[in-house]
Structure 1
């Protein structure tokens, strides 16, 4: 059976357990890097820059208290569990607050609707949980095995912690509360996966035995701890399953709507720039010269092709948006719909 020695246990506790004193080296390092990573991530999302967001992932220190929670659970050290959980929660709230601050400063007119960094983090699915479980396993494995610790930067990039929280803060400022909750769910998914896989890896490597040999305080580990961790993962999987089904339905809806939209636009030589579906709403972008085709005729065409229960959001050249609700034959011109 795999195991670690006393030296490895001391190295892991020093790396994962942040000191209580706010001015201690580990505490100032954590909060300083977290604030900087939050600013970098928020700026990267606002600028729609993948490279900048990746830089924030590498700098972000949130993995430390999350894996620290797993180690504290294995050691059954209640005080460390509470401290690590509070650090994760406090750090998460700090990132959201910084994201909100930058959101109030920039306040984009389209409410981030065309931002790829935002759109990629507001539809968490089961595949995200699977990826997080694998990445969390690698992260815990790299901490146990000092000879492969150079893989940790890759783990930081693969597991998304600070960017989803930055997106949450930014979306709150523009009133997209449902999408903000979805990006927060992505963060929660990654946290649950890291804690679950970290707990298992640390148990497999016999951390408890080595910790007792080193003189560390080790409490009584009970089966309910593993059961509680497993329940959290299952609870996270429920909304992710719903998200997976929603994404699949939206893709099918967009595929069905595209030929209908193309037939509607063809007589006036208008071009269909984009067709997508968001939570059951068909969103179509159209380009062309006046006169514009009638939005109500597209609404009627979608109804005839079995999409009467889908709302329609039609973006025409010049920035005008028409909103055509389901089960109606009328459309209203309005600003872009967000939420």
Structure 2
């Protein structure tokens, strides 16, 4: 594998290190595109439009300071590391703020309970970390190798940085704080993976030597810096492991609950629209005409079939929601889904 030359390093630093000053060309481009991408992503999530969300992924410029952080770490440029990190944090907060604003304007009555764009980003797993590591590697590789730079739009789509933050903002407005934290965790997973893989790729390609040849400032790279990057990735893996176990458990719970729910609905000629489980809560959607079957009967049927420890959230046509806690034989009626 050939090392990069001084010209390539100069090109990379110009591309990744955004100039100081809010009125600089790099800063105005970054913040302008970021705000627009935030609006597009938030609107796409509210509308449950995959195409719109993909458009936001392509427009969003957050990959620049994240890869810039990796390059600054390799060059041991502390001031650039801090500047890139602040841009990432500030940019993330800006996206969340835009999401909150659109959430206050257009939050649906069901608090995004049936939104596929939201549900796909609130259960991060280890497989998401693996995908992020692979995608981050491709992104850094494409930056080093100009002959494959045309893959960068695909990397932007695969890594998904802005949509999880938009989901975080939208969920905060409706009080789903746990799920908002999960979508923020997905963003943190992607950031950690990009920084880690970018650091490795830049080291493998001999960026430090080429930077010295280009007359750039190169500090002393300490082993503890690389250890800290690895530790962050491992730290992120802990909640992702828990999430993986939770998702597997919820899938098994939903599979067990479906036949029980279908037998219960058949007694009143109703139809089961959906059965899923979220963090140990069985969530069932039901369609049909009055009279409705008794929710307490379904609660009892779940108990008899080994699901006594699972809470039940039952969505009936007309917007009513019945909440049936575990270890009880009563249900309460609510106007919207519990978060």
Structure 1 length-normalised TM? 0.98
1:24 paired to 2:24: yes
1:9 paired to 2:9: yes
Q: 1:100 matched to which residue of 2?
A: 100
Task: Give structure 2 stretches of 5+ with no counterpart.
Answer: none
Q: 1:33 matched to which residue of 2?
A: 33
Alignment length (residue pairs): 339
* Whole-angstrom CA distance in 2 between matches of 1:298 and 1:54: 40
Q: 2:143 matched to which residue of 1?
A: 143
Q: Name segments (4+ residues, structure 1) moved above 6 Å.
A: none
RMSD: 0.9
1:156-195 C-alpha deviation (Å, 9 max, x unpaired): 0111101111111111111111111111000000000000
* Whole-angstrom CA distance in 1 between matches of 2:107 and 2:283: 23
Partner SS for 1:238 = helix
- Once the two structures are TM-superposed, the CA of residue 107 in structure 1 deviates from its matched residue by 2.6
CA contact (8 A) 2:46 2:107 kept: no
- Once the two structures are TM-superposed, the CA of residue 231 in structure 1 deviates from its matched residue by 0.4
Task: Give structure 1 stretches of 5+ with no counterpart.
Answer: none
* Whole-angstrom CA distance in 1 between matches of 2:43 and 2:334: 29
Matches within 5 A, 1:38-117: 38-117=38-117
Q: 2:266 matched to which residue of 1?
A: 266
- Once the two structures are TM-superposed, the CA of residue 81 in structure 1 deviates from its matched residue by 0.3
Which stretch shifts more, 138-147 or 256-265? 256-265
Matches within 5 A, 1:228-307: 228-307=228-307
Q: 1:199 matched to which residue of 2?
A: 199
* Whole-angstrom CA distance in 1 between matches of 2:108 and 2:298: 29
Matches within 5 A, 1:213-232: 213-232=213-232
Q: 2:188 matched to which residue of 1?
A: 188
CA contact (8 A) 1:2 1:204 kept: no
1:23-58 C-alpha deviation (Å, 9 max, x unpaired): 111111111111111111111111111111111100
* Whole-angstrom CA distance in 2 between matches of 1:118 and 1:213: 48
Partner SS for 1:268 = coil
